Amino acid sequence: MKNYLIDLFISIGCFMIFSSCQTAQTENPPNIILIMADDLGYETINANGGESYQTPEIDNLATEGVRFEHCYAQPLCTPSRVQIMTGIYNVRNYVRFGLLDTTQTTFGHLLKEAGYATCVVGKWQLGKDPLSPEKAGFDEHCLWQVTQGRVDSTGRDTRFSEPVLEVNGVVKTFEKDDFGPKVVSDFGLDFMEKSVSKEQPFFLYYPMILTHCPFSPTPDSDEWLKDDTTVMRYKGQAHYFEDMMAYTDKIIGNINRKLKELGIEENTIIIFTGDNGTDVPIASIMNGREVAGAKGKSTDGGTRVPLIVKWHNKAKTGSVCSDLVDFSDFLPTIGEVANVMVPASLDIDGHSFLPQIIGEKGNPRKWIYNWYSRSGKASKASVFARNQRFKLYDSGKLYDISNDYLETDPLRLEDLSAEEKEVYEMLNGVLQQYKTRRLEDIVIQN
């Protein structure tokens, strides 16, 4: 009896210790890394069927996580940045190119208020106020194009070799053999390490500098620093895009290895996407067909982007999800991952896709909405609603994207089947729902 009691007490003690450890793990907020490549369409990634470039590190994220087939961004950088950071469709809060209205609440604000260390590295282009990253909710930053323009006084692009970056509000010109994408990603790695040493959960938002033009050599190219003429013209030379893809993939690998080095891989979610379609000079092969870059256009080539999520022991390993996702969905998803309530007062448009990440059904979208105007003027806007197959513009034109990728032959509405008419009515209802939501009297806060 005595031995039985001893064994019982030991078992109870072990159970309590185990339960305590489990509770501590549960209460330990996950680190969050959101990586958004610049001008990188869906077709560029091997895991998506891309055949033109080698992307082993990004593919590894898909092997160890979940890959989404229907993620849609805005056709251009600033509109996408505003939407992904606020969870609100452009029709309601997009002001003009190169600006984020500082009255908007971002995912940086939400996570910072929840006790996360927050950092943004890469490309900003959201306002020339040197405090704009801080005003957007980020403790630290290492960014290209905050107060400084795209080129220097000689007309030289400043994002790649000899980069001009702003580090926590200080403008710094780096050495000629420094590479802007490496400088900012190294800053992000250091931020991760500091946060871990402080035992503070972190949110790293990384809107990448790559793969935007000018298409130029990288430090891994034979022509690095030998051919620097590419940064003197806007597009550079398109054949360097392959090298830039390889370096983008390399950076993803460095981040993944850093997580393992710091021992935080299991408690860190990595979300990888692109801000819009690939740039116009680039043509890539996907599943045996050529896909021309269509940045700036509302076709799939301009709006369909990769979305891959890795979360060790939580994301459904090696799975593929065909549910709809758009850029308004990232803020509520990140909020749910961090167990941070998104205030109802924000009235966001996004839906969390966390259930799909962890292998549950969730509440899949039936449609997405797109209002795109580079200038912010409603008269210039391209407006549509769509599901996986059909896209309806506010002009009344309906396309079957699965059979008309380039949108050259609108469907005759009188020839629609009963099922197609039902989809048409649903999408038209979405267009009508948002028709009166444009706020032309937005007060711009710089």
Domain boundary among 372, 396, 413: 372
Tell me the one-letter amino acid at 435: K
Distances in Å between the alpha carbon of 226 and those of 24, 177, 212, 218, 310?
A: 54, 11, 20, 11, 38
Residue 367 has pLDDT above 50, yes or no: yes
Q: Is 408 found in the same domain as 318?
A: no
Interatomic CA distance for residues 311 and 265, integer angstroms: 8
The mean pLDDT value for 401-407 works out to 96
| C-alpha R_g of the chain | 23
Q: What span, in angstroms and rounded, lies between the C-alpha atoms of 14 and 120?
A: 42
Q: Are residues 166 and 195 in the same domain?
A: yes
Cβ pair 234, 149 in contact under 8 A: no
The per-residue pLDDT for 439 is 75
**What are 344-362's pLDDT values in tens digits?**
999 999 999 999 999 999 9
Task: Indicate whether 6 belongs to any domain.
Answer: no
Tell me whether residue 10 is in a domain.
no
* CA dist., res. 48 & res. 260, Å (int): 26
Q: What are phi and psi of 144, to 5 degrees?
A: -100, 140
Q: What is the CATH number of the domain that holds 247?
A: 3.40.720.10
Closest CA to 429 of 366, 352, 348: 366
Give percent of the chain with pLDDT exceeding 90: 90
The H-or-E segment that residue 421 falls in is helix 418-434
- pLDDT at residue 61, as a whole number: 98
Decide if pLDDT at 2 tops 80. Answer: no
CA distance 443 to 131: 19
The reply to whether 15 falls in a domain is no
Residue 441 pLDDT exceeds 80:
no
pLDDT in tens, 241-300: 999 999 999 999 999 999 999 999 999 999 999 999 999 999 999 999 999 999 999 999
Q: Which of 28, 49, 196 is nearest to 117 (CA)?
A: 196
pLDDT tens figures, 36-85: 999 999 999 999 999 999 999 999 999 999 999 999 999 999 999 999 99
Confidence of residue 302 (pLDDT cuts 50, 70, 90): very high
Does one domain contain both 65 and 172?
Answer: yes
Residues 307 and 409 in one domain: no
The whole-number average pLDDT for the span 176-202 is 98
How many domains are there within the chain? 2
- At residue 12, does pLDDT exceed 90? no
Q: Which two tokens stand for residue 347?
A: 């009235």
DSSP 235-289: SB-GGGHHHHHHHHHHHHHHHHHHHHHHT-GGGEEEEEEESSPPPTT-EEEETTE
Q: Pick the closest to residue 218 from 181, 172, 175 (CA basis).
A: 181
Residue-wise pLDDT for 94-136, tens only, equals 999 999 999 999 999 999 999 999 999 999 999 999 999 999 9
Domain boundary residue among 372, 398, 417?
372
Domain end point (choices 333, 349, 372): 372
pLDDT at 186 over 50: yes
Residue with tokens 């460095």, as numbered in its chain: 254
Strand 304-311 relative to strand 66-72, pairing: antiparallel
**260 & 409 share domain:** no
Provide the pairing of β-strand 202-207 with 268-274.
unpaired
Q: What is the pLDDT of residues 316-339, one digit of tens each?
A: 999 999 999 999 999 999 999 999
Rounded Cα distance between 208 and 274, Å, is 9
Reported as a single tens digit per residue, the pLDDT across 368-385 is 999 999 999 999 999 999
Q: 440 falls in which pLDDT band (50, 70, 90)?
A: low
Q: Which residues contact 94 (CB under 8 A, 6 or more apart)?
A: 78, 79, 82, 83, 371, 373, 376
- How many angstroms separate the CA atoms of 243 and 219, rounded? 9
pLDDT digits (tens, 9 = 90+) for 415-436: 999 999 999 999 999 999 999 9
Instruction: Give yes or no for residue 16 having a pLDDT over 70.
Output: no
Q: Is 350 left (phi over 0), alpha (psi -120 to 50) or beta?
A: beta
Range of the domain at 417: 378-434
In a domain, 365, yes or no: yes
Looking at the fold, whether 46 and 168 belong to one and the same domain comes out as yes
End-to-end CA distance of the chain: give it in Å, rounded: 76
Domain co-membership, 62 together with 102: yes
pLDDT at 3: 43
Confidence bin at 6 (pLDDT 50/70/90): very low
pTM: 0.92
Do 314 and 267 contact (CB within 8 A), yes or no? no
